[in-house]
Amino acid sequence: MLRFALPPSASAATQVTTIGALRDALAAAVGGAVDVVVSRDYDALRQSLLTGAVDGALAPPVVCAQVAPHLRVPLQIVRRGQAAFASALVVLVDSTHILAPRTLRAAWVDPASLCGHVLPKAWLRGRRVALERFFVDEQFLGCHRAALAAVIAGEADIAGVRVLPGGADLAAAIDSHLPGASSRLRALAVTDAVPGDGVVVGQDGGPLVAALRALPQSLLQTVFRAEGFIDAPPGAWDALATVTSPEFQP
């Protein structure tokens, strides 16, 4: 049986029936049994790939960078015509907050979430911001939906969300995680762009890659929030070593 893993964000946006439809479509394409699982967190996803507990996965950029020396990352995800993205640091529309030390409570996704934690901090470091004790409070909530909800509920002041380079799709990006929330939030800053999500497979992952390429558009949209895949150029995620925190460098 082949096992394909989805990142933890899939648990909030993807229904059991949709995951079942993905499983059935992949099984039909490879001509055998396929199981689809949702990882507990990014570290669990990375470990599952490196240990061979799963045969492939939709992986966020940091995980792609971490496993690329050992596994194949043949595909990049295309969203709104782009295979790269940035992070928008969002606050409430009527917020008077600025990026100043000891003034912000942050709601992050996961320690290894590029746009939901790592990239915003790398962006701040690139502007010579001393991050030690910069935030009054930091919490990790597991998915973008929870992080955005925490800002709207007043439980945090700022969160990071994935957007296209330049942030022109901010409203659509927010609403894809928390429908209707875009009217409540605005971007305080947008980071530089980096490579987006990828598909990781083992050395024998050719049939799985072919099956993913053959998925119907409906599943690409609901499960992957994507328009399709493109071939990943060699070393596509290598540059992340220059923007990620030392503890997350591959």
Q: Do domains 2-81+196-248 and 84-194 have the same CATH topology?
A: yes
149-201 pLDDT, tens digit each: 999 999 999 999 999 889 989 999 999 999 999 999 999 999 988 888 999 99
- Percentage of the chain modeled with pLDDT above 70: 93
- Which of 6-20, 121-135, 215-229 is predicted least confidently? 6-20
pLDDT of residue 225: 84
Q: What is the DSSP string of 1-41?
A: -EEEEE-TTHHHH--HHHHHHHHHHHHHHHTS-EEEEE-SS
CA dihedral 178, 186, 8, 236 (to 10 degrees): 130
Fold of 84-194: D-Maltodextrin-Binding Protein; domain 2 (3.40.190)
Mean pLDDT of all residues belonging to the chain: 89
Band of residue 250 on the pLDDT scale cut at 50, 70, 90 = very low
pLDDT of residue 24: 94
Band of residue 246 on the pLDDT scale cut at 50, 70, 90 = very low
Band of residue 242 on the pLDDT scale cut at 50, 70, 90 = low
Other beta carbons within 10 angstroms of residue 30's beta carbon come to 16
pTM of the model: 0.69
Q: Would you kindly state where each structural domain of the chain is located, as residue ranges?
A: 2-81+196-248, 84-194
Query: 2-81+196-248: CATH homologous superfamily?
Result: Periplasmic binding protein-like II (3.40.190.10)
pLDDT of residue 241: 59
pLDDT of residue 127: 83
What b-and-e string marks burial along 193-214, b requiring 16 or more CB atoms within 10 Å of the CB? bbbbbbbbbbeebebbbebbee
Indicate if the pLDDT at residue 2 is higher than 60.
Answer: yes
Tokens (6 digits) for 112: 């290894």
pLDDT of residue 244: 53
